[in-house]
Amino acid sequence: MHSLDSFFANSPAPVLVVAGDDPVVAALPTGFEGSLLALSQVEPGKPVKRGWKTVLLVVSDRAALRRAASLVPRLGQCRTVGVWLTEACAPLLLHPRGEWPLMTSLHARPLHGPKGEQDPAGFLTVARFAEPVGAHLVLAEMARQAVPAADTAHHGLVLAYAGRPPAAGLDPRALHLADAADAGDPSRDVPPDVVLAEGEAGAAPESHHVVDRAPAVVRARALDPVDELVFNPIGWRKTWEKPPVDLFDLAPGPAGVTEAVVAAARAHQGVRVDLARDDAAQVLRLAMAGVPLVATGQQPHDAPQLAPVLRATLDGAGDLDDPLAREEHALRVRRAAFDAHSTLVWRAGLRAAAGLDPVGRALPPVSVLLATRRPQQLAFALDQVRRQRGAEVELVLATHGFTPDEGEVRAALGDEVPVTVRPLGEETFFGDVLDAAAAAASTQLLLKVDDDDWYSPNFVHDLLMARRFSGADVVGMPSEFVHLEEQDVTVRRNHPSELFNRFVAGGTTLLGRDLLDDLGGFRRVRRFVDTQLLSGVEAAGGRIYRTHGLGYVLRRTGDGHTWTRDADEFRRPEIIDTEWPGFRPSSELEAGDGPGDRPGDGGAG
């Protein structure tokens, strides 16, 4: 007996089962009481039968759910709506929308196949309502709430699909057309900007009177993006229990790489992929999730190709027996996958193709807030900002008790980094110094950094990447690497990373201006300003995400810090993973950033 049988027994008939992706059809129990609708068979623009009292959408995982949401046709009003994720790692939850009728119950539970608990079959979530509600609206909202981030990265781009399935990600308003020419239909109030089409070139759409242009038609044969809000490094493990495994053996089922497959891959030292045999779309999901990959073979020339930057990164697997080298490789692979194949970057490229955004920028700009009371630290700190790449940054320099030469500051940063200088008096509270810097910033994202720590060139980029896939209110790195200057040793602490947590290093704190304003700004204190901020975020119910710690090294001297801690506290055996003599950061900081570049004196501002 399949544990889904009780759902059919307890749900009002007639029941419609909607198969969101073809592999799940085989997972359905035989002889169920209901009708089956496969989304792959729905014809664009053709109405489907209504009058159902129960609608159940069956998809393999959250990625398939989000992809299927725009395909679900208007199925009419019903009181029971469910989603069965056959390959999921956790059930869905649903917060009802205000315009819906009262939701009388929400039930989520694991399912099992005919063999019982030894036969896991994913998770079922069922919502019941006091009055009928549009089934397609509930399913779209369940897809929206399936990930921790609010997917606001569409940037106004309206997409249509002609003769092909939707790309990854959630886009409930995407149009599905029989032909690309239909995009120019003058009766459409919301015409698409871009039509993604397959097959031979047909008639081009007419110019639409609403936008005074014809939708751009894209027929290039390229890999679809990966849904980074589902396939991402959340849950990364620095240790492993199992040897490397072949992708072919890890994901033998018809659904390919699902969330459950990624969870299983976390226990392995790495995954071997044969690019000549393995589906590139499945490889991309593992790459985006940060699974250490070892690639062999060459992709067929007639197949959609991995981006050259990702292919080159896959070739540099290095020594997976070394935990640090393994993590560095996994980071570089997922960074390359994100920069070339994420839905965020993909949509930015389509905006550029449609002429809506000449820059095609995917990641938002950031204002770096640097508060310092030590002129001798300034050159070093400015260099850490200047070397950032993969992100658009401006610097707001708040000096505490001295006034720098603005010409020298601008010369040190170069033409690529705009700068605003705000000198403040020596007696100003440290929190007020940071508030003054935040007030002078011109962007919506604020990043607090310290004047004496080391930052990798990808530091800002990686925080923005983590903010995208986590949806957290605050993102930062752990102080995993610490250089103890008096002892001249570098310690790597065993901080876990890629998880939601209460703490991130204060000199790596990225948050939105709106959140800071809601918290009343930085608290008016002389010390512990980072602790005050994180405590306020937690008290307000905000989420804090800690990404990897490879791009940051905390520098510790004997005095001068705004928080005191004995150096031996950093070397307690229970918190130390590795210790090296001298300055030994992750390779993320690149060669040349050694003791010769160290600031001369110090501590946080």
> How many whole angstroms separate alpha carbon 18 and alpha carbon 464?
36
C-alpha distances in Å from residue 313, one per residue of 295, 334, 381: 10, 9, 30
pLDDT computed for residue 314 by the predictor: 94
Q: How confident is the model at residue 604 (pLDDT cuts 50, 70, 90)?
A: very low
591, pLDDT greater than 90 = no
C-alpha distances in Å from residue 549, one per residue of 370, 496, 578, 603, 605: 20, 9, 14, 20, 21
603, pLDDT greater than 50 = no
Higher pLDDT, residue 45 or 189: 189
Sign of the CA dihedral with 175 first, then 177, 180, and 185 last: negative
Average pLDDT over residues 237-247: 96
Average pLDDT over residues 193-201: 84
pLDDT computed for residue 44 by the predictor: 87
Q: What is the largest CA-CA distance in the chain?
A: 80
Higher pLDDT, residue 8 or 32: 8
Which candidate, 600, 582, 360, 335, places its Cα nearest to that of 481?
A: 582
pLDDT computed for residue 61 by the predictor: 95
Three-state secondary structure call for residue 541:
coil
pTM of the predicted protein model: 0.93
Higher pLDDT, residue 167 or 117: 167
33, pLDDT greater than 90 = no
267, pLDDT greater than 80 = yes
316, pLDDT greater than 90 = no
Residue 59 near residue 85 (C-beta atoms within 8 A): yes
> How many whole angstroms separate alpha carbon 227 and alpha carbon 220?
20
Domains and CATH numbers, the chain: 5-144 (no CATH), 148-221 (no CATH), 245-341 (no CATH), 366-597 (3.90.550.10)
> How many whole angstroms separate alpha carbon 194 and alpha carbon 525?
51
510, pLDDT greater than 80 = yes
Indicate the burial class of 27 (C-beta count within 10 angstroms; 0-12, 13-18, 19 or more). buried
Q: Tens digit of pLDDT for each residue in 458-468?
A: 999 999 999 99
Here the tokens at position 40 are 């792959």
Q: Which amino acid is at 143?
A: A
pLDDT computed for residue 594 by the predictor: 46
298, pLDDT greater than 80 = yes
Exposure of 360 in the CB half-sphere (CA atoms within 13 A):
11
Q: How confident is the model at residue 567 (pLDDT cuts 50, 70, 90)?
A: low
Residue 403 near residue 423 (C-beta atoms within 8 A): yes
153, pLDDT greater than 70 = no
The proportion of the chain whose per-residue pLDDT surpasses 90, expressed as a percent, equals: 74
DSSP structure string for 13-27: SSEEEEESSGGGGGG
pLDDT computed for residue 538 by the predictor: 95
599, pLDDT greater than 60 = no
pLDDT computed for residue 595 by the predictor: 46
112, pLDDT greater than 90 = no
> How many whole angstroms separate alpha carbon 510 and alpha carbon 438?
12
Average pLDDT over residues 179-187: 91
pLDDT computed for residue 360 by the predictor: 65
Length of the chain, please? 605
pLDDT computed for residue 105 by the predictor: 97
Q: E strand or H helix at 463, and its extent?
A: helix 459-470
590, pLDDT greater than 60 = yes
Which candidate, 497, 515, 516, places its Cα nearest to that of 588?
A: 497
Here the tokens at position 568 are 């031996």
Residue 11 near residue 80 (C-beta atoms within 8 A): yes
Here the tokens at position 403 are 């006034």
pLDDT computed for residue 4 by the predictor: 83
Sign of the CA dihedral with 544 first, then 548, 552, and 554 last: positive
Q: Which amino acid is at 228?
A: E
Q: What is the 3-state secondary structure (H, E, C) of 82-118?
A: EEEECCCCCCCCCCCCCCCCCEEEEEEEEEECCCHHH
Which segments of 401-452 does DSSP mark as H helices, in order? 406-413, 430-440
> How many whole angstroms separate alpha carbon 348 and alpha carbon 501?
30
Highest-confidence segment of 97-106, 152-161, 249-258, 425-434: 97-106
452, pLDDT greater than 70 = yes
Q: E strand or H helix at 141, and its extent?
A: helix 135-144
Q: Tens digit of pLDDT for each residue in 525-566?
A: 878 899 999 999 999 999 999 999 999 999 998 654 444 556
Here the tokens at position 238 are 């620095």
pLDDT computed for residue 1 by the predictor: 55
